[in-house]
Amino acid sequence: MHCYKGPVPVCHFDMYRIHTFDDLYSTGFFDYLESGAVLVIEWSENVAGFLPEGGIHIDIRNTGETDREITVEGGPF
């Protein structure tokens, strides 16, 4: 986890090795939920079911050497 301070703080979580509720608890993730920061969660599929509702899902697919297909769902999208 790394936090970037600014007018809107951004906290980046990498959940690659996180699989259980206890794993997630011990990242401190829940302590950031109401902090006012934007939480960017990589490998969020590993913690699906523990995340609050209303999140925005961003899917980035590699479609070529310099091409990416980005799908944004949820929230206002």
Partner 1 sequence: MKILGFDTAAKTASVAVMDETGRLLALSYLDSGFTHSETVLPMAKNLLDALHAAPSDIDLYAVNCGPGSFTGLRIGIAAVKAMAFALDKPCVGPSTLEALAWNAADWKMPVCTAMDARCGQVYFALFDCSSGEPLRLCEDRTAAAGELRPELEACAARFGKILLMGDGAKPLVDLYGDLCRPAPPNLVLGSAYGTCAAARKMYREGNTVPADALVPNYLKVAQAEREREARLAQT
25 binds partner 1 (CB under 8 A): yes
Of 22, 59, 65, 67, the one binding partner 1 by CB under 8 A: 22
Binding of partner 1 at residue 48 (CB under 8 A)?
yes
User: Is 71 a binder of partner 1 (CB under 8 A)?
Assistant: no
Phi-psi region for residue 29, left (φ > 0), alpha (ψ -120 to 50) or beta? alpha
Task: Choose among 59, 48, 41, 40: nearest CA to 19.
Answer: 48
Distance CA 69, CA 24 (A): 29
- Among the listed residues 49, 64, 75, 76, the single contact to partner 1 using CB under 8 A: 49
Residue 28 is a binding residue for partner 1 (CB under 8 A): yes
